[in-house]
Amino acid sequence: MRKIIFVTGNRGKLREAKDILAAKDIEVIQNNHGYPELQEDELEPIAAYGAKWAADELKMPVMVDDSGLFIHALNGFPGPYSAFVEENLGNQRVLKLMEDETDRRATFKSVIGYCEPGGEPVVFTGTVDGNIAYEERGSGGFGYDPIFEYEGQTFGELGDAVKNTLSHRRRALDKFFDWLD
């Protein structure tokens, strides 16, 4: 079984990555050391920088994940600031921002960054298009899952087994896995 170090403090991301990559015979080992995050408008440079920094700091190959919810009516907000917004405002306040909006389209995006010590980082992007629900629904997942609706159900309603077959993180991890091979 192959092993990969996943630098994250987010238990939800860790659980998803473990579930998805276990099926590909890859053991995910958490390192919650963290890394400095660039302030950028896109996730790719954040993940690339984080992977390079962590690989050089830890002296081992690492994977990082930078994810965000991009809401069309809010010009892509919260985007790369999703974790900060979720932690400080929460889903209810995001729904409040969307109260009078008719355009509910949103994109969930995950960027996996991978780097070996002294090497150049590579990134793999996965996206899922959906809508912002009118209320929180479901108790599964984490973060924005209860308000992100995909084909009529929120990620919070789908359950991990279904969500992990189609999520933005799944799509990014599949690209990463293909590249690893």
Which candidate, 51, 166, 64, places its Cα nearest to that of 108? Answer: 166
Task: Exactly one of 65, 66, 145, 160 is catalytic; name it.
Answer: 66
Structural domain spans, the chain: 2-180
pLDDT in tens, 138-163: 998 889 999 999 999 999 999 888 99
CA geometry: angle 124, 127, 128, nearest 5 deg: 155
Architecture label for domain 2-180:
Alpha-Beta Complex (3.90)
Q: List beta partners, residue 79.
A: 69
| Residue 3 predicted with pLDDT over 90 | no
Annotated active-site residue 66? The verdict is: yes
What is the average pLDDT across 8-25? 88
Q: Output the pLDDT for position 1.
A: 78
- Average pLDDT value for the chain: 94
